[in-house]
Chains A and B, each alone.
Chain A
Amino acid sequence: MAGLTRTAGAFAVTPHKISVCILLQIYSPSAQMSLPFPFSSVSQHNRLGLYLLSLTKSCDDIFEPKLEELINQLREVGEDMDAWLTDHLTNRFSSLSSPDDLLNFFNDMRGILGSLDSGVVQDDQIILDPNSNLGMFVRRCILAFNLLSFEGVCHLFSSIEVYFKEAHSSSDQYDAAINNSESLTHYDQMDMENYVMNKANEEIELQKNASGSVPFHLHTPEALFKVTEGLLVTRKEKSRTSKKNTEATPVAYASSSTHEDTLVDKSLFLRTNLQIQGFLMEQADAIETHGSSFSSSSIESFLEQLQNLAPELHRVHFLRYLNKLHSDDYFAALDNLLRYFDYSAGTEGFDLVPPSTGCSMYGRYEIALLCLGMMHFRFGHPNLALEVLTEAVRVSQQLSNDTCLAYTLAAMSNLLSEMGIASTTSVLGSSYTPVTSTASSLSVQQRVYILLKESLRRADSLKLRRLVASNHLAMAKFELMHVQRPLLSFGPKASTRRKTCPVSVCKEIRLGAHLISDFSSESSTMTVDGSLSSAWLKDLQKPWGPPVLSQNSGSRKSSTFFHFCDHLVSVPGSVSQLIGASYLLRATSWELYGSAPMARMNTLVYATLFGDSSSSSDAELAYLKLIQHLALYNGYKDAFAALKIAEEKFLTISKSKILLLKLQLLHEHALHRGNLKLAQRMCNELGGLASTTMGVDMELKVEARLREARTLLAAKQYSQAANVAHSLFCTCHKFNLQIEKASVLLLLAEIHKKSGNAVLGLPYALASISFCQSFNLDLLKASSTLTLAELWLGLGSNHAKRALDLLHGAFPMILGHGGLELRARAYIFEANCYLSDPSFSVSTDSDTVLDSLRQASDELQALEYHELAAEASYLMAMVYDKLGQLEEREEAAALFKKHIIALENPQDVEANMA
């Protein structure tokens, strides 16, 4: 670590900075120099000044532009005097023919600084204030140059030659491209030159470039040889690197070719620690947002290089860990994580550690434990993760690292709530910790609650706003899923509420979202100065006309609003991610509470505003929700079309949920069309997706079983379906999946209804309703009510009235928020009720029935739900028959026939799906 602290924030002279200096000389020529003043107007002068300002601001960026890029930018800025500017720049470079010239150059630079006490200022002279931004830059350059040793100057000189030479050949190319007339000859010269250069290298022979003059030869007298030995080396280096570039270009990754070029930049090691740290942070963000679609091998090769250059920069290992984590390489991830913490002792780069308390003697290995725990969590080893996190709690308590403790508790509660851990006593009971041991007698939910509360309290007192926000969100999630019971109940009076509380969910979400106005007060110890300063340059370039914009438009993000926000107030990525998460949570909660439009709206907000800054898995979730919505409300055609788009975008992500969604949709579709074989296959595939470990992927497992039961139900194997549903209910109970319990109960009621055992079905339907009530699942409740009503009707036509009343009670919810299927079912059932009601006469009141039936058959058309559609047409035909409208009757009958035939011969849907 000694290497890190030694020169943190060092400012090194680089060729790029020298070109900035040359431009500065033009901007404010010193009195002694006889440079012509090239500016035709003040605005032109100012424009160059602004450009220079942005250049100096961005000189802390990790990648410095090459001369070629700089010249291109100058073209945009300089308008009509660009030729003059570039000429001057290149001439100045080519006049630097020995290290001694560099010395003179920096001496000249001194001249453009106005002295502090010089009262006499000539009118026409532009004086650079030494304390201005530009002046400071010049002074820093001069100072840095003066500090250089002799070897340093030699190396700087050689890198200048590389810098200039590269640009020279490529700018020739540029010119050639523009002036078509000359192109051929130019290219010839180019090739010749390259050829000669390689040749020269082979013969260990020197040759000055086209503009240069004196050719050296190896067979020169010994003395001269000694002098030029330094030059010789740099020559070779230059030709080597240029060769490397030409080698690299054919392989170049389409998008990252510029990236790749700069990667081989040999002067990378000159960068300061902060710059590289900032750059690595950016890369880490990129890994997260792009998931494994991010080319992991390219970043790997880059990291390797960086490690070669800076073996003391341990953060590289962490990045490598992240990369491996996202490409699901367990062993490599583990290895790199451990290596990172062995080297850095957790004291490097974590902004959650306040620097003042850095007790370097002991290191911060508790953070290692925290990270290790989260890694195990991600790879699906809940018990290992819990064990590690318990140790983390213990160690952070020992070292009184409250920050880490707060994070660990949050991670632990997250783990407990995500992973279905039936009982923690087997794991936690063995290890002694104050926090967990107080909770050893409690259920998992209560433990999660306590952990969250503890974490929240600590985070609040430590002013860790992000953690506070994410804890609020976790709390909201908890409130959403669990009925609050007092932890210690005194007597029978204590347990009063038996419902979840939407208000508190809403409150928690709101508290979580406060972060956006709050985060600025948090003093982040780790500023990503590299990225911010480059953003600065980009912003400045924007108003300078379309050419620049169009050039950059490839890299621009699509959502313009937030992009602006991003730069103006510079919302850190983590903050916007958290806020995005709050929107997603909002969408989920509305989904559960049963408001389709609200859920859709929140998801849309998320997808438009946070889609770019979010992690890929979150973005995927948002897409998933939208597609599901489409399937429910617009039918399968649209959903499959949307799915195709999403697939292209997300399929490369590890643990992609897109596949899951596809299987779900196909299953649903197959069930509706009556293609049971296909449905069964989809079901099996779904089951295969889940991990075999107990307690992991519970959601997926429950989903697969639920669908299995439904397939069996559709195949009319009632007892088997009931068995599956029963065991599923037991699983849900064991792992405390309350909401799933409600839908399983509904399914059981459904099974009994279909099997004609209405009496058995009633209690299940009622139980489901009460579950829905206590969790505020309004839509599910409405559909349970519908089932209940159907069961009543199944008991006999004398219950038709009661059934109708129940249905009408649920109607507003169903029609307002229900999906196509639910609505159709409700309509058909309504018609059924009327028809079976003895007091209802078809001839007088036919429209009530026909209307609902027509509605139902319209909606079922989109859904391709043949069974229900057939029922609707049948009923319609019957009604028309009663009314004596024969034509319509025949029509309805034909429709009925069509659906029945389609149901009996399910075509292979996959043909057009795959």
Chain B
Amino acid sequence: MVSKESCRNEIRAAIRQLSDRCLYSAAKWAGEQLVGIEQDPSNFTPSNTRFQRGSSSIRRRFSTNESISTPQPSVGFSQAATPFPEEDEVIDGDLYLLAKSYFDCREYRRASHVLRDQMSKKSVFLRCYALYLAGEKRKEEEMIELEGPLGKSDAVNRELVSLERELSALKRTGAIDSFGLYLYGVVLKEKGNESLARASLVESVNSYPWNWSAWSELQSLCTSIEILNSLNLSNHWMKDFFLANAYQELRMHSESLAKYDYLQGIFSFSNYIQAQTAKAQYSLREFDQVEIMFEELLRNDPYRVEDMDLYSNVLYAKEACAALSYLAHKVFLTDKYRPESCCIIGNYYSLKGQHEKAVMYFRRALKLNKKYLSAWTLMGHEYVEMKNTPAAIDAYRRAVDINPCDYRAWYGLGQAYEMMGMPFYALHYFRKSIFFLPNDSRLWIAMAKCYQTEQLYMLEEAIKCYKRAVNCTDTEGIALNQLAKLHQKLGRNEEAAFYFEKDLERMDAEGLEGPNMFEALVFLATHFKTHKKFEEAEVYCTRLLDYSGPEKEKAKSLLRGIRMAQTGFPSMDVEHFPL
């Protein structure tokens, strides 16, 4: 394991270099990790401890049940290979300083103009980067200006061509540093040349691993595990951050969690890692744990907006209205024009039952970020609540087109079509959603219900789905009950009895009571009686006697019948017909 001290030194130097090159978000990320490293007790300062106080408690709480994973050999650090960020030349040119201040004032074109004749690698990078951003800015403007009658225009970043030409020329002559390679990768990606972009980004991160922006670009180009495995990355602790993130995006949550767990050995107080862990846990539907983690996170970093939409989802799912309201008001005061904030407020209104307002806020979130996946899905849910099915379908479909792996949106589509009385059509969508999340009992149950509708009435298929649901540990216990009922309906009493018994076991284990239990008991009692297994029948009847109501009378008469049968009298009661 790398020493914390060397890590710290690397990051410190990297932050200086990154912010010197105006790569602010990468610098921000690095800064977060820097304070995430556990401090030496020797040079404690009060501010450090204050920052780290909160997160240690959560770590304590979860350290017991977290398995300590050993680093895999492929991931292990080889100290020798770790490059150390070289310090830049101390004195920047005057022009560079001017350009950087222009850049900081967001006058990109001016900045690039100032550096037009500078030949140092650093200046070249800043000039190109400024030009790229200027092009992006102009593109955004043109998108609005040229908005045609049929939607968006084909506005493109007009600087890409010249940038690509220049950067590729630089690359050929070798006069390019890792930052230039990063920019080259970004430009190539934008131009649609993904494989070349990947190669360039890999080269960049191999020579300078501390640029998190490069890693994230690379991650966005890894759309499958095969691509990810084919990358030739040299070992560095940054690679573990990358892999953890990539695994998460590829829905390999346990692998991702293992990585984060391992990284926490060094970066024990990193908010980033904590948030990512929470994300993975959310995907595994560990809501209680996620809620605690987010609470901790907010205590440490009260003005954090990133990832808070996830927290609001958890609160929504747990119907914690007060907490959600508190969160919504807080993010609103922090920064109301963030897509995350709008999403949180939308969730808040949705929980309050004000669906029109919720839709408005989701719309706002989408206006801020058109590719904001969860807002589309959530908006679909709202439209479903408002019974506006076409709009819901539209919203879900957009979510699916942004990310075809979004099982929630597929599920929503299926639900919407089922609502419109098109169960057969809906089946396709349920199948899709199950394909992406085969271990979720709710999806199987939804599909089974679809088969069960009176229009389709394909009970055999429904039974198959329920069986799958049972195998996926159905927490709500719908599947067992339905299986029993379906078998009963089809006249297969043996199977029905089997599932009723199982369902009864489940309800006993969870301490539940209710009509399902009566039903199961009555059926089992009658079933065993007709099969002359009087002892079992008696057990169930006596259980029924504990409850009041019509079932009790039923049980009494059944018991009477059993006694009669046992004493050898011909049975004359009418109760022995199956229900």
Contact = CB atoms under 8 A, between A and B. Distances in A.
Q: Do A and B bind each other?
A: yes
Given A310-B150, A363-B389, 10 more contacts: A155-B145, A269-B150, A269-B154, A271-B149, A309-B148, A311-B151, A339-B401, A342-B393, A345-B390, A365-B417
B455 A362 contact: no
A3 B389 contact: no
Contact of B150 (A149, A313, A339, A432): A313
Interface string B122-154: 000000000000000010000001101111111
B148 A343 contact: no
A202 B162 contact: yes
Contacts of B145: 149, 151-152, 155
Contact of A387 (B149, B150, B421, B424): B424
Nearest to A269: B148
A313 B148 CA distance: 11
Interface in B548-573: none
Contacts of A342: 393-394, 396-397, 413
A391 B424 contact: yes
A394 interface: yes
Contact of A362 (B162, B390, B424): B390
A372 interface: yes
Nearest to B426: A391
Nearest to A154: B145
Give the interface centre of B148, B154, B161, B393 by most chain A CB atoms within 10 Å: B148
A865 to B, nearest CB: 54
B456 interface: yes
Interface string B382-418: 0000001110011011000100000000000100010
Contacts of A313: 150-151
A338 B388 contact: no
A388 B456 CA distance: 10
B337 interface: no
B425 A369 contact: yes
Contacts of B454: 432
Contacts of B388: 361
Contact of A368 (B394, B421, B425): B425
A897 interface: no
A457 interface: no
Given A10-B149, A342-B397, A431 B420 contact: no
Interface string A245-271: 000000000000000000000100111
A151 B396 CA distance: 35
A372 B425 contact: yes
A6 interface: yes
A202 B163 CA distance: 10
A240 B148 contact: no
B428 interface: yes
B165 interface: yes
B390 A3 contact: no
A272 B149 CA distance: 7
Nearest to A266: B154
- How big is the A interface, by class? 35 or more
Nearest to B459: A430
A334 B424 CA distance: 14
Contacts of A395: 420-422
Contacts of B326: none
Contacts of B428: 334, 338
A312 B152 CA distance: 8
B457 interface: yes
A839 interface: no
A343 B428 CA distance: 16
23 contacts: A7-B149, A10-B149, A236-B161, A266-B154, A269-B146, A273-B149, A273-B150, A309-B153, A310-B151, A311-B152, A334-B428, A345-B390, A362-B389, A363-B389, A365-B422, A365-B425, A368-B425, A388-B425, A391-B425, A398-B421, A431-B457, A432-B454, A432-B455
Given A361-B388, A365-B417, A430-B457, A391 B151 contact: no
B231 interface: no
B318 interface: no
Given A310-B148, A360-B390, A398-B421, A343 B397 contact: yes
B459 to A, nearest CB: 10
B158 interface: yes
Interface of A: 3-4, 6-8, 10, 149, 151-152, 155, 201-202, 204, 233, 236-237, 240, 266, 269-273, 276, 308-313, 334, 338-339, 342-343, 345, 360-363, 365, 368-369, 372, 387-388, 391, 394-395, 398, 430-432
Nearest to B420: A365
A430 B456 contact: yes
A10 B456 CA distance: 47
B424 A309 contact: no
B406 to A, nearest CB: 14
A4 B149 CA distance: 7
B368 interface: no
B397 A431 contact: no
A431 B455 contact: yes
A387 to B, nearest CB: 6
Nearest to B110: A222
A854 to B, nearest CB: 67
Given A345-B393, A362-B389, A398-B421, A8 B455 contact: no
Contacts of A233: 138, 158
A273 B149 CA distance: 7
B159 to A, nearest CB: 9
A409 B533 CA distance: 55
Contacts of A368: 425
Contacts of A308: 154
Contacts of B284: none
B421 to A, nearest CB: 6
A739 to B, nearest CB: 34
Contacts of B417: 365
A343 B154 CA distance: 21
A206 to B, nearest CB: 14
A61 B483 CA distance: 61
Contact of A204 (B146, B162, B422): B162
Nearest to A363: B390
Contacts of B196: none
B165 A202 contact: yes
A30 B454 CA distance: 76
Interface string B461-496: 000000000000000000000000000000000000
Contacts of B393: 342, 345, 363
A312 B151 CA distance: 6
Contacts of A269: 146, 148-150, 153-154
Contact of A391 (B148, B154, B165, B455): B455
B458 interface: yes
B570 to A, nearest CB: 41
A636 to B, nearest CB: 49
Nearest to A338: B428
Contacts of A365: 417, 420, 422, 425
Contacts of B424: 369, 387-388, 391
A398 B419 CA distance: 13
A482 B145 CA distance: 65
A760 B489 CA distance: 54
B161 A362 contact: no
A343 B394 CA distance: 5
A312 B423 CA distance: 27
B394 A339 contact: no
Contacts of A151: 145
Most chain B CB inside 10 Å of its own CB: which residue of A269, A272, A432: A269
A272 to B, nearest CB: 6
A158 B166 CA distance: 25
Contacts of A202: 162, 165
Interface in B213-261: none
A270 B148 contact: yes
Contacts of B161: 236, 240
Nearest to B153: A269
A339 B397 contact: yes
